[in-house]
Structures are given as structure tokens and as C-alpha cells.
Structure 1
């Protein structure tokens, strides 16, 4: 489970954001300002930060700047009422990875969080193991019993995404938004095409299965776990 810190001085906004995260499978950690966030990070592992800009004691710009100076590459999503280009520019210059303007659309926020976490996982060179099968993101290869197979990019990203969250159901739209980009015009049926290709490719592999959840989407199951 990913731990996401919400740094926000408004009690209601902080609580509401934390509730949304918890309802969508994340562990929420909260802080009232940048200084409190740094203190918490000394004791807890955090995978991503959602932070307000205007806060007492230490604002979002200073918190981001301090983290980047310390070579902390944790993904940062700034959320603020400031929508001027100069404010966004300052946020990105200090080291923010993404920027949203209040009032925040919850669904869009979750999509942005998912995309930031995905990019972070790629940067951290994660490998996934299912039985005797190893998926290596660096090389887009699948290794099974000394046999190495390189997959096309979209196929690899699709199976890697599903196996990153075994037993979790993803809708076609979610998979499209994350793997084919939110702005893509590609039809959602392309997910079905890639799923069929993966099933054919791994039809003799008993380490995992890709399951169709009728009316919802797809999930991957690691066998024997």
C-alpha cells in the first residue's frame, strides 16, 4: 500500500483529502505545514506528497525546495488556489512534479497520483516476480526459467501494471488513462486487443493469470500466493 502525505493547513480540506485517499486504497498521512511534514518524514516512509502552497510556519514552496536540496525525489503534487502562470512556474522551478488548482476534482487528482506513482516506480527500477517469472521494467523483458523475452512497450506496461496490484480490478478506462495517456483518442477496445496478445503469449505460463471481470475490466492473479 502506498503512503501519501497530505500537507494542508485547512482542517476540513486535509481531512477530506485523506478520506478520499483511504477510500481508494492508499494510506493517508497528514501534516498541517511543511515543518510538521519534515518531522513526520524522519520517522515514516512516504511515497508521494500532496501539498498546499500557502501554509504557516513553512509553505509548500519552501518544503519542496528543502526536499529537492536534500536530493529527495519523492513525487510532489502541489494543490493551491493560485492559478497564475507565475505561481505554477515557481512551483515547478522549486521541484514540484505536478500542479492542480482548487477546487480539485477528486477523480482527476487520483489519476494524477496514479501517474506520478507509476513514473516513480519506473524511475526506481522495480522488478515484479510471479512464481518463476520476473518482469524487468528497465529492459521490458520477462525472464522465466532462463528464457528471456522482450515485450512491446504497451504490452509490458499493461501486464506490469496489473501485476503491480494483484487481484485489483482495473477498468479499461483506467488502463487507457495510465498507459495510453489521458488525452489519447485510442479506442478502449485496444486494451482488449493487448490483453488477448498477452494471454496468447503467456498461455503456457502457470505463474499468473489475467482475469476478465465481466462488466468491470481486468485483474491479474499470481497463482500459488
Structure 2
């Protein structure tokens, strides 16, 4: 993969670059939020490893800016913060996963591989449900032949729903299977993202495909 590492700590940056290159990846690096953001916009990377604490800004803003610009490159956040709300905030601004420092390099590689699996196409290229169509290869979503812009997290959530349509899916299952993270079941994170996805679908159709099953989870209804 062609990977961008945005990290101001030289020891961490050197380690991550060495590990990734040893595993056959091409790695570019940046030390500031400005440089990382610019490089991510101007180049076609397959993944971004992004530190939260940068000298001229923070990873939250970098990630949010990239998503606002329509850049869907998967982002793995690195940070010394361990609190759940920090992880949730990262995912809300568009990050695909979160790894706490200090970390084991094997876990770094495993999480990146998990992100890659979730974002690459697998099985059939097209998933359909009523007026909805998802092209896994192009990572495109259409409703009634109109293209709908989704963030990476929204797209991955929709794909999981379509692959598991017409059955009850719990919040815990969505957290684990879509984001590969175990959340406190009291967090509102899953509901927020389902709300985002439901709202975008309803802009193009009157059909409400996502049904909330009280005290159980959600069902994506497809006839």
C-alpha cells in the first residue's frame, strides 16, 4: 500500500515507517498538521496513519477537513489518550480506527489490515436493496440512480447492513464488525451514525429502510 504517516515524534515516525516498509508498503511522512493535510489532499494514498497531537494543530481537524473535502482515504489515528470519548470523537470526525500509544507493532499491522479488509470489495461487486445500490469496487452508493455521498464510516455501516439485511443486528455487533472496536453499550455513537445514514437515504426516497427494534438493535429491511 501507499501510506502517509503524519507524526511529529521522530522516534514513533521512524518506527512506524520502518515497520510498514519492512512489510512491503511505500511510506511518505509528514511532521505537521498542515503538511499532512496538504499531502493527503494532493496525493492518492491508500491509508493514512494520523497522530492526534501535532505541533500546529490536531488530528481531529485534519481528519474532519479531509472528509469535508470528500477524501475517503482510510485513517488510523494514533494517540496517547485512552478515554472512550476521545476514541468516539475521532470516529465521529471520520477516522476508521484508533490505536493507543504505546502500541505493539503487530497490533498496528493487524488494525491496518482490518481497515483494509473493511474498505476493499469482497464477494459480489454490487449490493442492492429496493431503490438502493452499492458498488463495492467503486465504493459508490446510489438511490434511484442518484449518487449519494457517504463518509467511510457511513459507507461501511451501510455495507454491513446490506450484507446482513432482514435480521436484527445489535449495537455491540455493529461496533465490533464495522469498526472493530468494543464500545460501552451506553454510548450514543452507533445511534448517531445510523441517524446520519438514515437521513441521507431519506433525502432520496420516502422508504425508511432502517428499523429500530426496541431494546434489541436494528434491522435493515429489504423485500
Q: Are residue 138 (structure 1) and residue 126 (structure 2) matched?
A: yes
Distance 2:52 2:44 in 1: 22
Shift in Å, 1:73: 1.2
TM-score normalized by the length of structure 1? 0.53
Asked if structure 1 preserves the Cα contact closer than 8 Å seen for 2:8 and 2:32, the reply is yes
CA drift at 1:38:
2.1
Kindly state the Cα deviation for residue 136 of structure 1 after the two structures are TM-superposed. 5.0
- Structure 1 stretches lacking a partner, 5+ long: 127-134, 140-180, 182-225
Q: Point out 4+ residue stretches in structure 1 off by more than 4 angstroms.
A: none
Larger Rg over CA atoms: 1
SS at match of 1:46: coil
SS state at 1:16 partner: helix
The verdict on how the C-alpha distance between 1:136 and 1:89 changes in structure 2, with shifts beyond 3 A counting, is: closer
Query: Is 1:121 paired with 2:120?
Result: yes
- Equivalent residue for 2:19? 20
Does residue 84 of structure 1 match 2:83? yes
Unaligned runs of 5+ in 2: 128-179, 181-223
Equivalent pair of 2:76/2:97 in contact (CA under 8 Å): yes
2:48 match: 49
CA 1:82–1:25: 2 relative to 1, 3 Å? same
CA pair 22-35 structure 1, distance change in 2 beyond 3 A: same
**Residue in structure 1 matched with residue 32 of structure 2 by the alignment:** 33
CA distance in 2, matches of 1:138, 1:106: 35
Residue equivalent to 2:63:
64
What is the CA distance between 1:114 and its match in structure 2? 1.1
d(CA) in 1 for partners of 2:87 and 2:41?
28
8 Å Cα contact 2:77/2:90 also seen in 1: yes
* Superposition deviation, residue 42 in structure 1: 4.0
Q: How many positions carry a matched residue from both structures?
A: 131
RMSD: 2.4
